[in-house]
Amino acid sequence: MRAVLLHDFGELRLGDVPEPECGPHDAVIDVRCVQLSVTECMLIAGDDVALHDQLADRLRRGPVQFGGHEFAGVVSAVGAAVTGVRVGQRVTAVETLPCGHCVSCARGRGDGCLTPGVIGFTRPGALAERVCVPATAVVPLPSEVGFSEAAAVQPLAGAVHAHAALAVRPGESILVIGGGVMGLLAVAVARHGNAGGVLVSTRSERKRELARRFGADDAVGAGEELTRAVAEFTGGAGFDVVVETAGGSRSVGLAGTETVDAAVQAARRGGRVAIVSVLPTRAELPAGTMREKAITLVHPRSGAGYYAQHTSVFEHSLGLIARGQVDVGALITHRLSGLEAVQEALEITCDKERFGAINPAQVQVGS
């Protein structure tokens, strides 16, 4: 089958690979829509974020079928031992795969797995005609959710995880820094999760409009404009909660760590800050100010996991889309066709500002 291979940092090429082998506990999915995450873009560019060293090591040994954990498609085969997933089902998959046998997994806590696999990182992902995943990772799509929206669900699950990690209480004020896809999803989740006033800071007027549409009470620029707005919005006390989403590698158009400084500045004493951004392995943080203000810093988990007894975060996120509560479709600005368009999708996703993109560019695959 055809698949995208990473030959070296920055060098993606379409090639032929063997068909994935469907083990007894696996499902093979015909990919219909896939998008590169910004983290994947950073890793492809060779940035020193988590998993960089592992990828560099593998590239020394030859081309790697890398990337493509945000996707949706149709099940085309299931292993002999699989129950509950059937051929023809419209599905997506959770990217993080518990190993099933470490001490944490043995206690039934797969979300604490010591050596999780990750689709598109530790095993081939969906930048291909077909992808094979453990059947336990498969998540069926509600009939109201299309392949394109489903391929965009993982960032929404990330926003849900950030909201949960912050343990937002009814009426708390929330500042969201950044008006990109993670910022806008954070606004939507805050709005559906008992937040009080929600303010968004982004330099883009277009994103400020979108932020208001997604439920923000107000949206302002950055720098001094933000400082003034924080004082007005909170009476000078600072925000209960800040969700920082705009930091990260400047190679993909992100703001370095200055947004983390802004987040800590804007939080109240005893407030909480979530860093949703993927920062370099050894990023500089305002540790002294955080200590002085007794700020709690949290990071969201990735897509896998549960808070409810019977509903995973992925299922909940698909439910938010199915019920029309979070309009992820409004964020999908670029839809390309065919695996040969992955290079173009990469360029757009690596420089969203220039291309006017909000969500990563999506690639439709197959029929």
Q: Segment contacting Zn ion (CB under 5 A): 20-28, 57-65, 112-120, 161-169? A: 112-120
Q: Give 143-212 as a DSSP string.
A: TT--HHHHHTHHHHHHHHHHHHHTTPPTT--EEEE--SHHHHHHHHHHHTTT-S-EEEE-S-HHHHHHHH
Which residue, 73 or 98, has its beta carbon nearer to Zn ion? 98
CB of 133 to Zn ion, least distance (A): 16
CB of 98 to Zn ion, least distance (A): 5
Which residue, 112 or 319, has its beta carbon nearer to Zn ion? 112
Which residue, 102 or 283, has its beta carbon nearer to Zn ion? 102
Q: Segment contacting Zn ion (CB under 5 A): 104-112, 127-135, 297-305, 343-351? A: 104-112
261 burial via Cβ count (<10 Å: 0-12, 13-18, 19+)? middle
CB of 49 to Zn ion, least distance (A): 23
Beta strand extents in 82-160 (DSSP E only) = 90-93, 96-97, 117-118, 130-134, 138-140
Spatial neighbors of 309 by CB under 8 A, at least 6 apart, are none
Which residue, 103 or 294, has its beta carbon nearer to Zn ion? 103
Which residue, 145 or 304, has its beta carbon nearer to Zn ion? 304
Query: CA 125 to CA 123: how far, in whole Å?
Result: 6
Is the CA virtual torsion 284, 117, 340, 181 positive or negative?
negative
SS3 content of the chain, % helix, strand, coil (to 5): 35, 25, 40
CB of 134 to Zn ion, least distance (A): 12
Instruction: Give the residue ranges of DSSP H helices in 175-331.
Output: 181-191, 205-213, 224-234, 258-266, 287-292, 313-322
Which residue, 87 or 106, has its beta carbon nearer to Zn ion? 106
CB of 312 to Zn ion, least distance (A): 17
Which residue, 121 or 147, has its beta carbon nearer to Zn ion? 121
Which residue, 74 or 102, has its beta carbon nearer to Zn ion? 102
CB of 302 to Zn ion, least distance (A): 14
Using CB under 5 A as the criterion, what x/- string covers residues 157-186 for binding Zn ion? Answer: ------------------------------
Q: Does 113 bind Zn ion (CB under 5 A)?
A: yes
Q: How many residues bind Zn ion (CB under 5 A)?
A: 5
Q: Does 105 bind Zn ion (CB under 5 A)?
A: yes
Query: CA 133 to CA 347: how far, in whole Å?
Result: 27
Q: Which of residues 82-101 bind Zn ion (CB under 5 A)?
A: 98-99
Residues 169/155, Cβ–Cβ less than 8 Å: no
CB of 104 to Zn ion, least distance (A): 5
CB of 108 to Zn ion, least distance (A): 11
- Cα 113 to Cα 16, 105, 119, 122, distances in angstroms: 33, 6, 15, 14
Query: Using CB under 5 A as the criterion, which residues of the chain lie in contact with Zn ion when the complex forms?
Result: 98-99, 102, 105, 113
